[in-house]
Amino acid sequence: MVDLGTQAPVLIEHGAHLAALIVGGHGWIVGWDVAPRRSNRRQAGYSMPPAARNLSPLSAPTAARTAMVPVMDASEHPRAVAACRAVAAACGLRVDDAVVLNDSNRLAVHLGPCDVLARVAPRSRQSGAEFEVELARRLADSGAPLATLDPRVEPRVYEQGDFAVTLWTYYEPQLPHAIAADEYASALGRLHTGMRHADVTGDWLPNFMDRVDEAQRLVDDPTNNPEIGGADRELLGTTLRTMRRAIIDRGASEQLLHGEPHSGNVLRTRDGLLFVDLETCCRGPIEFDIAHATINASGPPIEVSAHYAGADQSLVRECWILMLAMVTTWRCEPGDDLPNGRAMAIDWIRQLRTALDS
């Protein structure tokens, strides 16, 4: 076994983490590849809300969080794109061309001239799409800064052959790409306000601690990626347990969260900053979302939390340490094939040790 903490440091460019591809000046950043998930990543035991169950005859017992690594072989792309075109055309939208923008947790395809963003994945990933569509539908009138489903079509998951397709509003990327701390904090605050006042409740929503429990199970099993072993595995397991208890003991109020509102899930549009990818939504303290404002840095997002009214700075720090331990633990997931995943784990282990020693 290799103790990652003893390896030489590896410089990882921030841009390499963005799971986004801009083609011909167009783009849709649908995910960030720092915390990839396999098809069962959303926690087991959560059923879909009744409205979402009605969208498909397929059962959705786990509301599965889809992977941030490509979920279909490149050879399947032509069929997936054809499914997008067929669904849009059946909805009465004109489709003359299709451009693949991104291959991440789902294939993102820009369809023209109807100007729609189609997201497509194998039907085995359909439950995650249904979860996202249901949340988008319930949050549509909340005032939250969110990318929306295309208003010209019925808000649901469309089945086409072996694929599940959802149709979203396409947003032309705007400059500058960088987001200032106060701007991000303002957008995140409006997102939380909208989510807090929306009619989104019920046992079908996971809690952020369910994700922590899953990470704990992964790291406690030594057969999962034995290259992460020794002192590193012990550090991750201990950190998950101690931070979990520390955060619970604070008794902070909880609400609906985005779950992973990092920079890869934020778009700059003509309408301002908009958050995308609702498959990670869960209940928890706002500080858990704030903690995701930075990942490849030497510490928690102090500047962002300073601009977020009412944020508990010490809780943000604890959530950041917890989040860092979690995304490192995903490297223990069986079959993990994230490019540069080992180098990222080395870097994150070093950050984690530094944070815990400070």
Give CA–CA dist 48/128, Å, rounded: 10
Residues contacting 312, CB < 8 A, separation 6+: 250, 252, 285, 287
Report residue 302 as tokens: 């102090």
Give CA–CA dist 277/225, Å, rounded: 28
Return the pLDDT at 202.
Answer: 84
Give CA–CA dist 55/341, Å, rounded: 36
Domains and CATH numbers, the chain: 4-169 (3.30.200.20), 181-357 (3.90.1200.10)
> Is 136 within 8 Å of 148 (Cβ atoms)?
yes
Return the pLDDT at 338.
Answer: 74
Say if residue 154 is exposed, middle or buried (CB neighbours under 10 Å; 0-12, 13-18, 19+).
Answer: exposed
> Is 66 within 8 Å of 39 (Cβ atoms)?
yes
Is this model's pTM higher than 0.85 or not? no
Identity at 114, one-letter amino acid code: C
Return the pLDDT at 294.
Answer: 73
Torsions phi, psi for 58 (to 5 deg) = -75, 140
> Is 229 within 8 Å of 62 (Cβ atoms)?
no
Give CA–CA dist 156/132, Å, rounded: 10
| Three-state DSSP state, 113 | strand
Identity at 175, one-letter amino acid code: L
Residues contacting 245, CB < 8 A, separation 6+: none
In whole angstroms, how far apart are CA 262 and each of 25, 98, 181, 275?
Answer: 22, 28, 12, 9
Dihedral of CA atoms 337, 343, 345, 349 in degrees, nearest 10, equals 170
Q: Which residues pair with 20 in a beta bridge?
A: none
Closest Cα partner for 241 from 356, 152, 144?
Answer: 356
In this structure, how many other beta carbons lie within 10 angstroms of the beta carbon of residue 230? 14
Per-residue pLDDT of the chain (358 residues; tens, 9 = 90+): 434 333 332 222 222 222 232 222 333 333 333 333 433 343 333 334 444 333 322 222 222 233 345 568 889 999 999 999 999 999 999 999 999 998 877 899 999 999 999 999 999 889 999 999 999 999 999 999 999 999 999 999 999 999 999 999 999 989 988 899 999 999 999 999 999 999 888 888 999 999 999 999 999 998 888 878 889 999 999 999 999 999 999 999 999 999 999 988 999 999 999 999 999 999 999 999 999 987 546 678 989 999 999 999 999 999 999 999 999 998 878 777 677 777 888 888 999 999 999 8
- DSSP 8-state assignment for residue 275: E
Q: What angle do CA 347, 348, 349 make, to 5 degrees?
A: 95
In whole angstroms, how far apart are CA 60 and each of 65, 216, 341?
Answer: 11, 24, 29
Assign residue 192 a region: left if phi > 0, alpha if psi is -120 to 50, beta otherwise?
Answer: alpha
